[in-house]
Amino acid sequence: MKENNYFDDRTIKSELGFDDILIKPSFTSIEPIDIDLSTKLTRKIKLKIPIISTPMSNITESDMALALANEGGLGVIHRYMTIEDQINQIKKVKSNDKITAASVGVNDKERAIKISKYTDVLFIETTSASNKKIFNFVKDLTKQISCDVVVGNFGTSSNIEEYCDLGISGIKVGVGVGSICTLQKITGVGRPQISALIDIFNTVRKYKMPVIADGGIRSTGDIVKALAAGADSVMIGYILSGTKETPGKIVKKENKKYKEYNGTLYSFVEIEKDYLETDFKNNFRVEGISTLVPYKGPVKTIINIIGKNLKAAFGLIGAKNIQELHEKVEFIQVNKIPGIDVTKDIRVTKHNFLTF
């Protein structure tokens, strides 16, 4: 009887992350020169490459945004500064005739409205956008501003169509999957990224809504898998950490150069942070850890390697562009290899591949 099967509708389901799949190769005559990596950032704006830097305080300010823009990507200016400083960072990028993007939280409408007057794209950042309070914030804000709005993050498609009906310009997918994010460990909440992307892509494709994969990307292979699962672009942090253009000083340790990388992006629970006592907030910043990563030099080098590796992957799959990748991809499930440490530093080797 139904009362004896309380969990029938909520049974454990098998879902897939980056490490659970590979992409099946195809017979192809496509060469790297034939491949176009351009993509939709929003419904109105295109990028030459599907790479976006995360709005973390030690990843993206104007130097990173400009460097990525010069390579055809995008940098999202972080919000952990005064409104005036964030506007000045945006102006530095805009003065070079580049597309600009900036992030805001869901508890600062004043910042959002002011920033929207200077940037091309406003990223509304929260741990999980599947929340009524956040939905109402976005609904109200979109009536007051004219720039493109990207909302995230989402882990399921449960209320995404409501957001699409608001006229937003893009969505960001990824809950608890950041490369050094500890949300899953602390809260027990999250969703494997491949399953989340496929679910959400299947829901929003009728809206022609661009999808950004955000979190858990540790290699160009993960970038390819995210794009193949429905993303139009990817947001990365750890791969770009340690580059010349990241904020902060170079740290020397045992005759080696490092830069700090901090996975913390949000407070304990974003929608509750205004109600938490200061000491509690300081002790429970749960969504990341700090670490030192090797200094990697100019970000241009990283982007060039990513571009070459993406084209190599597209060639193996037989896709000339991201749309064809969505259409032609065939995933295969693989067994996880025990004992692999996926938290090791990402380095650029002499073979020009991003490795662990």
The tens-digit pLDDT sequence of the chain (356 residues) is: 455 666 666 667 789 999 999 999 999 999 989 999 999 999 999 999 999 999 999 999 999 999 999 999 999 999 999 999 999 999 999 999 999 999 999 989 999 999 999 999 999 999 899 999 999 999 999 999 999 999 989 999 999 999 999 999 999 999 877 555 556 667 777 889 999 999 999 999 999 999 999 988 999 999 999 999 999 999 999 899 999 999 988 989 999 999 987 655 443 334 334 433 344 444 444 445 567 889 999 999 999 999 999 999 999 999 999 999 999 999 999 976 554 444 333 333 333 334 32
State residue 260's pLDDT score. 81
Residue 8 lies in a domain: no
Residue 111 lies in a domain: yes
State residue 118's pLDDT score. 98
CB 224 within 8 A of CB 331: no
State residue 188's pLDDT score. 79
Q: Which domain holds residue 324?
A: 16-355
Residue 337 lies in a domain: yes
Residue 164 lies in a domain: yes
Handedness of CA 280, 283, 286, 287 (dihedral sign): positive
Residue 79 lies in a domain: yes
Residue 11 lies in a domain: no
Residue 216 lies in a domain: yes
- Beta strand spans in the chain (E): 21-23, 39-40, 46-47, 51-53, 74-77, 101-104, 121-125, 148-154, 170-173, 211-214, 233-236, 251-253, 256-262, 290-294, 331-333, 347-348, 354-355
State residue 263's pLDDT score. 55
In CATH, what number is assigned to the domain containing residue 292?
A: 3.20.20.70
Q: Which two three-digit tokens encode residue 295?
A: 């200094």
Distance of CA 303 to the CA centre of its chain: 16
Give the total number of structural domains in the chain. Answer: 1
Helix axes 299-317, 220-228, angle to 10 degrees: 50
pTM of the model: 0.86
SS3 46: strand
Residue 4 lies in a domain: no
